[in-house]
Amino acid sequence: MYNSYTSGLNEFKNRDLILKSSFVEAFSSQQGNINEMWNCLEKLAALGKSIENVSKAIEQYNKLNSDVLSFLEEVIKELEKVIKKLESMEALSIYKDVISDFFVDVRTGVGAGVWDKAESAINKKAQIRKSKF
């Protein structure tokens, strides 16, 4: 009876040793795969952070483009105003000689003293208008 227990125990130990060695062998081969999976997960996390940074950079770029476009639209509007003023000045420049001749005739007609006072008043009015801008 003792021998049967001993042989049963030895048989159990042998099976246990075989199972343990199979488990250790399987675990060792899987450990490389597990390490590889962890490396992949770390790289995936780094990739996610990089994508987040690229996304932020694209948002900043889009905002900057929007700001630049708004600024350029304002510049274009101001340039259009300047062009209109230049066009009106050009239209009035046609009458420059006629107006100059008219002033000479008026000066002659009213006299130099009266004309100087009128011209001074006109110049003061023009200066006041410029200062209000």
Do 79 and 32 reside in the same domain of the chain? Answer: yes
Whether 115 and 106 have beta carbons less than 8 Å apart is answered as yes
Average pLDDT, the chain: 83
State which residues form the domain around 36. 2-94
- Best-predicted range by mean pLDDT (33-37, 77-81, 104-108): 77-81
Residues 106 and 83 in one domain: no
Q: What pLDDT digit, counting tens, does each position of 54-95 carry?
A: 999 999 999 999 999 999 999 999 999 988 888 887 777 778
- Of 92, 112, 91, nearest to 103 by C-alpha is 112
When divided into structural domains, the chain yields a total of 2
Query: Is the same domain home to 80 and 110?
Result: no
The pLDDT, as a whole number, for residue 133 is 44
* CA angle centred on 93, ends 120 and 115, rounded to 5°: 20
User: Higher-confidence residue: 49 or 21?
Assistant: 49
Q: Across residues 38-60, what is the average pLDDT?
A: 92
Same domain, 89 and 100: no
pTM confidence score: 0.43
Q: Specify whether 109 is located in the same domain as 129.
A: yes
Name the percent of the chain in helix, strand, coil, to the closest 5.
Answer: 95, 0, 5
